[in-house]
Structure 1
Amino acid sequence: MIGESLPRLEDAALLTGRGRFIDDMDLPGQAWVRFLRSPHAHADILGVDDGEALTVPGAVALLRDSLETGPLDNRSPVRRRDGAPLVPPPFPAFARDRVRYAGEIVAMAVAETAAAARDMAEAVAVDYRPLDPADTEELFEWATGDAAEVEARFARAAHRIRIPLANNRISAAPLETRGALAEWDARDRRYTLFAPTQGPGQVQEALAKALGAARADVRVITPDVGGGFGMKNGIFSEQVLLAHAARLLGRPLKWIDDRAEAFLSDYHARDHDTVAELALDAEGIFLAIRTSTRSDLGAYATGAGPVIPTDGGSRMLANVYRIPAVHAETVCRLSHTTPITAYRGAGKPEYGYIVERLVDEAARKLAIDPAELRRRNMIRPEEMPWRTPTGLVYDSGDFAGNLDAALELADRAGFAERRRASEAAGKLRGFGFASYTEPDGYKDGRVTMRFDEEGLLTVTLTASSNGQGFATTFSQIAAAQLGLPVEAIRVLTGDSDIVGRGSGAGGSRVTTVAGAATVRASERIVEKGRRIAAAMLEA
């Protein structure tokens, strides 16, 4: 079973239109929400004129002064350069007196239909007093590595490579935009939020904190999700405000982002300016590497934002190479831009890019074939396990072998001829390659396995699938361990009442960690089954 190609169990429903995404969900008596967002990056709010908004057919309410929620949870594990914990400024759910980035929420229009809510929002007049951008505010400094050792190695290096690099700001732009459906149960005094997340447990915790509610009084349900890429792994203002307003108005509220709004409202990613340096000896052997990065976190720090340009990515500063000394320093700052969060690798691709650009530049400066320079400095299989200067341990790997296999598959030997043919046709042709590795397996991977009276096994995960195919993967693992057909297994995710506390999908970790937890749970089931069978059979 493991190692076999198994048809994905999720696909039949998704390919025949039976998937259930947030925009497919409705509740009786629901109203629709449109958020009013600032067109200014920095401005005082002098007043909000309802205008004709409440005369729009289907108008329900325009909410602003009655919105009273706590700030978003933006705690971060990162520590400052001096070792002190990072305490970022509060992240408000909406702008009350001053906006600090374009797209920040100012108010919310509630109507019987989505179109009416949009008409209401367009009828509201907000009096702004635009302000000059504030000087970029430095939030904290951070550093890792041995600066003195790196400086000593640079001092005796035969070659020093130095390049400036800009890793531009991007939007995750998943196929499915964000949205939410919130309900307040007055009898049970409990919130329910339906939203595409990468794991309901962590959103439940953050939502409860912002609402001033007990965690048990908040339920988060995640249906099918059309892509997350890290961006859907945290709490958003819209989720908090929707749940709060559902209680205020006593009816369910629904909001669906459109693509234009998403580019303003979704957290962005990256936005780093780095100066990177590599020291080499006369033979082209790497001696040390160092980076100095300025990271723009946006107007407010999210919980993930400070991790990415610091602890999250710098661990990969040695990449696949025998680099004996590293040093990285980062200055994280706030600006009048959309807040930053994790996106596909969350710092590791960024630092991998830095290293590989340095290697390519060194190859050009030293007139060494870029493949040979990499091969010369790669960690060898016989050197495993290998501890990097950043503390990671590589247990295995044949990086040079992988490089050679890739070059053969790409027919690098025939590239010169292909380039000549392209030039003759008036076209350009290039050949580039890069090495990359990244850690996974961090955080928890909580799994629960239960048999019902009919013998059906239910496997429960804290992470929600964003397209990874968890139902297939974990059915396959459990089936292989327990000798069951996959048809006798179902995988449940996405309901905080069922899955409980635990991390969501992210960091390339779910199959590694939760998969191992599934194996361990299966072993316990087998052992328990043996004891029961022994007692029943009097063996």
Structure 2
Amino acid sequence: MSSTFKGRREDFRLVTGQGRYTSDWSLPRETHACFLRADRAHAKILSIDVSQAKAAPGVLAVITGAEALAAGLGAIPNMVKYPGKGGMKLIETGRDVLAVDRVRFVGQGVALVIAETPNQAMDASELIVIDYEDLPVVIGGAAALKPDAPLLYDHVPNNLVFDYEYGDKARTDAAFAKADHVTKITVDAPRIVGNPMEPKACLVNYDAKKDIYDVYAPSQGITMIRPGLAAGTQIPEEKIRFHAWDVGGGFGVRSEAYSEYCALMMAAKIVGRPVKWVATRSETILSDHHGRGAILSGELAMTKDGTFLGMRIEWIVDCGGYLSGSGPLTNTAGPSSNPVNVYATPAVYGLHRLVVTNATPTTPYRGAARPNVTYLAERLVDEAAREMGIDRIELRRKNLLPRKAFPYKTPTGSTYDSGDPPGLLADALKAADWKGVARRRKAAEKRGLLYGAGVAVFIEPSGGGGVPREEAAIKFGDNGNPVIFTVSGPSGQGHETVYPEIVASEFGLDPEQITLRFSDPDGPVLKGSGSIGSRGVMNHGGALAITAREVVRKGKEHAAKHLEAAEADIEFEKGSYRVRGTDVSVSLIELAKTLANKGGNALDTIDGVPVSLSFPTGAHIAEVEIDPATGMIDIVKYVAVDDSGNIINHALAEGQLHGGLMQGLGQVMGEVIVYDPVDGQPVHGSFMDYFMPRADLLPPLQLIDRPVPSPTNPLGAKGVGEAGATGSVPTVANAVVDALRSLGINHIELPFTPHRIWEAIHTNGKSQAAE
């Protein structure tokens, strides 16, 4: 992707410290909060004594779970309303805003202290005395399903909250019955922490006279979080004004209301003053919803020449101690749309088993379930090639969906809108100099290194969002310049740059003349969803484009009156209305000024688009070198060829790919949060022991844009935000396994830490590897 990028509009404000994240908001007479969190994974609460805490200096209130429950605070409903296997309904776990009679993971909120200063609140929280009765702990999805596993809930048999199936079991069984070869593999997608730059935080003010709550918190969309707050507090949505200006990273873990926010709303009303809370990094690691956390099993049935006949898929998904609002949906309906990846596979059957465990709840994390789908599929293809003695590239070529097959209806009923997977793979192989792999392998071996090359081709759903329509608004100020409104703001994507560019293109204006306002509680009421699922340009951008076109259409009538001409003779070009065949014209800006002076503005418009879905595709190649003496992996090359449809701003698209790649590489190379299987204590609690990818992990990148415009939205766009994470996980995993194959190692679990690689080489590899 080439770029003439000169900088994002928001960057100067952000890098000079003029941004306004949640902790930057302060209100007069604000107080401060501290949550006392469970220090054990599973226990009954026999008693809570808060008397000393209430008497501590500066303390204004102490709230327990029993008080929150009595006030009507409760669980946020789950998004899964569809049936599972045999008509099974998802079993709701509910969740107390603060624990009432039981805690189910380390870090769960048990009590809330409000004081004059943060330190006073923290000191007082340490004075709360809780008498626990410890209960047996279950860690990990597979362990939770064992017949003798401890139960987290009396109403959840076998800890199984949802059994979800998709595809055609009978047809798939028939395909396997006539197969010449079946490849089987099981891989682990371990739990990881979202870890946005900005910790979880919230500031709440309650206006008793107006009976209105002002809530400031990081969010990926006002229309996503406000309904959750209303459900959790039983307060009508119209009484909640939600503010999210700058958000320091979203990645899915900022997409829904957290129980802490509901408790703080209660606290603000009790103390009659604003209440502010900013989490520590350890709190963020413990109490932010986690990502991934699934055991993925797959089987691939083939003919003797390598033609794919069918796939069987089984996931065991670790949902944690409680169900998040969107976690179950992410691990069921989402991955059922593309389980066959980009391959012509006539039959598929999938079974996803969602279980509860004594760990932090899980939710979508960058890519949501897409990296899991692609990781399993592409590891299956590589293993099938090895087992059958077929070149891995040729096996892919044989089964890839050709461009002419699109739109392609999958065996599970979804429709891939457009794409050219063979073209993507061909471009990736050429750019990566695949023919030179053998040469580079020999050169690395001469230096005492293990060399591997990995490839992955993928497709992923983007868009959607659980709403039927996305709306935007355009208003004109007294100076005639447009102000555009969307329901969702950025968490690093560059909306303040790209959305004005979309509207400027329609209006023929300089983007600098256009201002974006997002998640604005004082703005027009709009329908739509948040910045999730790589839907921003497709849906928010598409709504802005359609709204801008409607403004232009409406403006012709007013321009005709202004220019004293027939409307049919008015044409619009380069920001001005002109009487056709003359030089008589008026600019859009001047027309808007004139209309504003007459009171109101007839050009102000709300419009939108039906929410669209598209399927971006990609082909990625990575090369790695491994030092067998240390287990250290060096990613020496990475090529990504992506079809993200029409690109509006190439530099921002590249930035999204960079970020996704970094997070995918983090998952492959070291990110994992481990719980002690006996007592459920998390082993990782800070950046001292949790791996976070650094800049030196990112290899030299070659990013290539190969678009096939999507027919599903006005801009022909597809998602780009998840592509890096979706493609990099299987690509680098395949490269590392390729490097280890010469030692007889054909599988190794994520993450590929130096110790894990070293141990595999010296314990499981061929004996000469240790020499």
TM-score range, shorter chain: over 0.9
> What is the SS of the residue equivalent to 2:496?
helix
Structure 1 residue runs without a partner (length 5+): none
Tell me the alpha carbon deviations over residues 110-151 of structure 1, each in whole angstroms, 9 at most, x when there is no partner: 121112221112222211111113235111211010101110
What residue is the counterpart of 1:37 in the other structure?
37
Match of 2:547 among 498, 507, 521: 521
Deviation at residue 510 of structure 1 after TM alignment: 1.4
Tell me the alpha carbon deviations over residues 217-264 of structure 1, each in whole angstroms, 9 at most, x when there is no partner: 111101200101011000101100001110011111111111111111
Deviation at residue 48 of structure 1 after TM alignment: 1.9
What residue is the counterpart of 1:25 in the other structure?
25
| 1:116 counterpart = 2:117 | no
Tell me the alpha carbon deviations over residues 85-117 of structure 1, each in whole angstroms, 9 at most, x when there is no partner: 535132221111111111111101112111222
> What is the SS of the residue equivalent to 2:133?
strand
Deviation at residue 461 of structure 1 after TM alignment: 0.7
Match of 1:474 among 471, 492, 499: 499
| 1:236 counterpart = 2:258 | yes
| 1:272 counterpart = 2:290 | no
What residue is the counterpart of 2:477 in the other structure?
452
What residue is the counterpart of 1:392 in the other structure?
414
What residue is the counterpart of 1:95 in the other structure?
99
Q: Distance in 1 between the 2:521 and 2:84 partners?
A: 33
Deviation at residue 62 of structure 1 after TM alignment: 2.0
What residue is the counterpart of 2:12 in the other structure?
12
Normalising by structure 2, report the TM-score.
Answer: 0.68
Deviation at residue 203 of structure 1 after TM alignment: 1.3
1:115-154 equivalences in 2 (<5 Å): 115-133=119-137, 134-135=150-151, 136-154=158-176
> What is the SS of the residue equivalent to 2:463?
coil
Tell me the alpha carbon deviations over residues 28-63 of structure 1, each in whole angstroms, 9 at most, x when there is no partner: 111111101101111111222336434543333222
Contact 1:204 1:220 in 2 (8 A): yes
| 1:488 counterpart = 2:513 | yes
| 1:72 counterpart = 2:80 | no
> What is the SS of the residue equivalent to 1:282?
coil
Q: Distance in 2 between the 1:69 and 1:435 partners?
A: 49
Q: Distance in 1 between the 2:226 and 2:521 partners?
A: 7
Contact 1:462 1:499 in 2 (8 A): no
Deviation at residue 435 of structure 1 after TM alignment: 1.1
Contact 2:184 2:298 in 1 (8 A): yes
Contact 2:91 2:161 in 1 (8 A): no
Sequence identity (%): 37
What residue is the counterpart of 1:200 in the other structure?
222
Contact 2:232 2:259 in 1 (8 A): no
> What is the SS of the residue equivalent to 1:307?
helix
Letter in structure 2 aligned against 1:486? P
Normalising by structure 1, report the TM-score.
Answer: 0.96
> What is the SS of the residue equivalent to 2:60?
strand
Greater Cα offset, 4-13 or 206-215: 4-13
Greater Cα offset, 364-373 or 239-248: 364-373
What residue is the counterpart of 1:356 in the other structure?
378
Letter in structure 1 aligned against 2:407? P
> What is the SS of the residue equivalent to 1:463?
coil
Contact 2:331 2:369 in 1 (8 A): yes
Letter in structure 2 aligned against 1:286? F
RMSD of aligned Cα (Å): 1.8
Greater Cα offset, 32-41 or 306-315: 306-315
Match of 2:557 among 488, 510, 531: 531
Letter in structure 2 aligned against 1:49? D
What residue is the counterpart of 2:356 in the other structure?
334
What residue is the counterpart of 1:375 in the other structure?
397
What residue is the counterpart of 1:417 in the other structure?
439
Deviation at residue 5 of structure 1 after TM alignment: 3.8
Contact 1:306 1:332 in 2 (8 A): yes
Contact 1:69 1:241 in 2 (8 A): no
Tell me the alpha carbon deviations over residues 264-306 of structure 1, each in whole angstroms, 9 at most, x when there is no partner: 1101122112221000111101111111121121111122111
Deviation at residue 379 of structure 1 after TM alignment: 0.7
Greater Cα offset, 516-525 or 81-90: 81-90
Relative to 1, partners in 2 of residues 1:499 and 1:131: Cα closer, same or farther, differing over 3 Å? farther
What residue is the counterpart of 2:532 in the other structure?
506
Deviation at residue 82 of structure 1 after TM alignment: 3.0
Tell me the alpha carbon deviations over residues 378-406 of structure 1, each in whole angstroms, 9 at most, x when there is no partner: 01122222222122323332212211221
Deviation at residue 434 of structure 1 after TM alignment: 0.8
Contact 1:455 1:488 in 2 (8 A): no
Tell me the alpha carbon deviations over residues 61-99 of structure 1, each in whole angstroms, 9 at most, x when there is no partner: 222143234223222234222345535132221111111
Greater RCO (CA < 8 Å, at least 6 residues apart): 1
Relative to 1, partners in 2 of residues 1:228 and 1:469: Cα closer, same or farther, differing over 3 Å? same
> What is the SS of the residue equivalent to 2:295?
strand
Q: How many residues align?
A: 538
Greater Cα offset, 364-373 or 68-77: 68-77
Q: Distance in 2 between the 1:191 and 1:511 partners?
A: 31
Q: Distance in 2 between the 1:349 and 1:161 partners?
A: 20
Deviation at residue 208 of structure 1 after TM alignment: 1.7
Contact 2:88 2:162 in 1 (8 A): no
What residue is the counterpart of 1:426 in the other structure?
448
Moved runs in structure 1, 4+ residues, more than 4 A? none
Contact 1:72 1:236 in 2 (8 A): no
Q: Distance in 1 between the 2:48 and 2:369 partners?
A: 40
Relative to 1, partners in 2 of residues 1:497 and 1:290: Cα closer, same or farther, differing over 3 Å? farther
